């Protein structure tokens, strides 16, 4: 999702291109105190480090967790996507529309931590992305000229190929995030209306929905609706669950062409929903409220190998166990819209700041995409 959230997010005092390991602390949260102390709860979102809500999070962190600020700038260069490509040994990510129009593309070398600018033709206002056949599948939100589409880019040579840009003749709103069901090679993606909300896309022609697409046949299905703004999505490691974030609480404008300022409506969803994946991985059922985000909105979402659920929120990355219990946070002191895992750890996109967090846990797709 493009756009700055109204959270504790702040610009770095001294932008730096030199990686530096941050001084962090692990704080064990006093849940009984927090139940009756509003100030205490808010203080937990400040600073940078780890907040332990449950002992299981300590095991997840491992013996020596750390956060490295890879780079910081005075604009929102590190916002969305997060795709590791083995052939280039780089993580690819996108900037925020709020400070880069058109949205800029970047990548970081996972060995040297050097950040480079990327320029791929046919990629219009990219947001989320995923690894598809060791290429980058970008969610291109489109603009007033280019349709919103899923575009496959080979970063080794720069070629791009649109895979789909409409639902049976009706243009997508602004495709936001995408995942692959690796058992059947089908593509699942969300299509909220944030492009229109930010005044770079026409009035929506579809509701905010989730789609399943078979690239070998061209067939597409709508698999879920009923969202204010569906956003991030991911499968559980066994592909029996799908988790979807609804960022409806993050509102852009009250009329066309004033979408450069976001505001929060606390009466709308900042929610993660869980679905059962049924019919041999082709449909969703039994929607349940899995979790509610206490700071900002849950945007990008991933699982680790044990099935714990991570989401980028207003003060960092929050982590829930499979039952929906908040077990911990990686706090950055500002918004983390999205993140991704590689063998090196968890890359967090904190708008003006790019981080690498080293944990004991591994992302669910590391063995599939990174080894």
The residue ranges of every structural domain in the chain are 68-317+336-369
At the second CATH level, the architecture of 68-317+336-369 is 6 Propeller (2.120)
Question: What is the token pair recorded at 33?
Answer: 């105190």
Any bridge partners for residue 187, and if so which?
180, 213
CA–CA separation, 154 vs 87, rounded Å? 10
Buried b (16+ CB within 10 A) or exposed e, 166-201: ebeeebbbbbbbbbbbeeeebbbbbbbbbbbbbbbb
> Can you give the pLDDT of all 371 residues of the chain as single tens digits?
554 433 444 566 567 789 999 999 999 999 999 999 999 999 999 999 999 999 999 999 999 999 999 999 999 999 999 999 999 999 999 999 876 678 999 999 999 999 999 999 999 999 999 999 999 999 999 999 999 999 999 999 999 999 999 999 999 999 999 999 999 999 999 999 999 988 899 999 999 999 999 999 999 999 999 999 999 999 999 999 999 999 999 987 655 555 456 788 999 999 999 999 999 999 999 999 999 999 999 999 999 999 999 999 999 999 999 999 999 999 999 999 999 999 999 999 999 999 999 999 999 999 999 98
Exposure string (b/e) for 331-341, b if CB count within 10 Å is 16 or more? bbbbbbbbbbb
What residues contact 115, with CB distance under 8 A and at least 6 apart? 17, 70, 71, 106, 107, 108, 354
What does the alpha-carbon distance between residue 192 and residue 330 come to, in Å, rounded to a whole number? 27
Q: Of all helices (H) and strands (E), which one includes residue 70?
A: strand 66-72
Q: Quick one: tokens of 58?
A: 């300590």
């Amino acid at each position: 999702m493009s756009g700055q959230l109204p959270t504790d997010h702040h610009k770095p005092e001294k932008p730096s291109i030199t990686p530096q390991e941050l001084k962090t602390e692990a704080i064990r949260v006093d849940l009984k105190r927090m139940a009756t102390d509003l100030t205490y709860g808010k203080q937990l979102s400040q600073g940078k480090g780890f907040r332990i809500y449950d002992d299981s999070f300590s095991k997840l962190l491992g013996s020596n967790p750390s956060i490295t600020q890879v780079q910081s700038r005075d604009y929102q260069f590190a916002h969305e996507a997060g795709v590791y490509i083995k052939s280039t040994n780089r993580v690819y990510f996108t900037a925020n529309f709020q400070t880069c129009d058109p949205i800029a593309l970047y990548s970081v070398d996972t060995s040297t931590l050097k950040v480079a600018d990327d320029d791929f033709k046919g990629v219009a206002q990219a947001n989320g992305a995923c690894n598809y056949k060791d290429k980058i599948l970008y969610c291109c939100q489109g603009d007033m000229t280019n349709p919103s589409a899923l575009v496959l880019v080979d970063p080794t040579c720069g070629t791009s190929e649109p895979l789909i840009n409409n639902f049976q003749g009706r243009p997508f709103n602004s495709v936001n995030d995408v995942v692959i069901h690796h058992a059947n090679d089908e593509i699942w993606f969300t299509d909220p209306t944030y492009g229109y909300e930010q005044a770079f896309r026409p009035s929506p022609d579809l509701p905010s929905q989730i789609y399943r697409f078979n690239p070998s046949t061209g067939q597409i299905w709508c698999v879920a609706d009923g969202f204010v703004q569906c956003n991030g999505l991911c499968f559980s490691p066994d592909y029996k669950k799908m988790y979807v974030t609804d960022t409806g609480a993050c509102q852009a404008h009250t009329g066309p062409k004033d979408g450069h300022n976001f505001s929060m409506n606390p009466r709308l969803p900042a929610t993660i929903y869980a679905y059962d994946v049924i019919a041999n991985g082709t449909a969703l059922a039994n929607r349940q409220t899995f979790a509610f985000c206490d700071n900002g909105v849950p945007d990008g979402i991933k699982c680790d190998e044990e099935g714990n659920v991570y989401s980028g929120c207003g003060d960092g990355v929050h982590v829930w166990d499979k039952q929906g219990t908040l077990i911990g946070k990686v706090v950055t002191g500002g918004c983390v819209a999205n993140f991704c895992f590689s063998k090196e750890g968890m890359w967090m996109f904190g708008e003006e700041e790019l981080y690498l967090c080293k944990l004991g846990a591994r992302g669910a797709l590391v063995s599939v995409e990174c080894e």
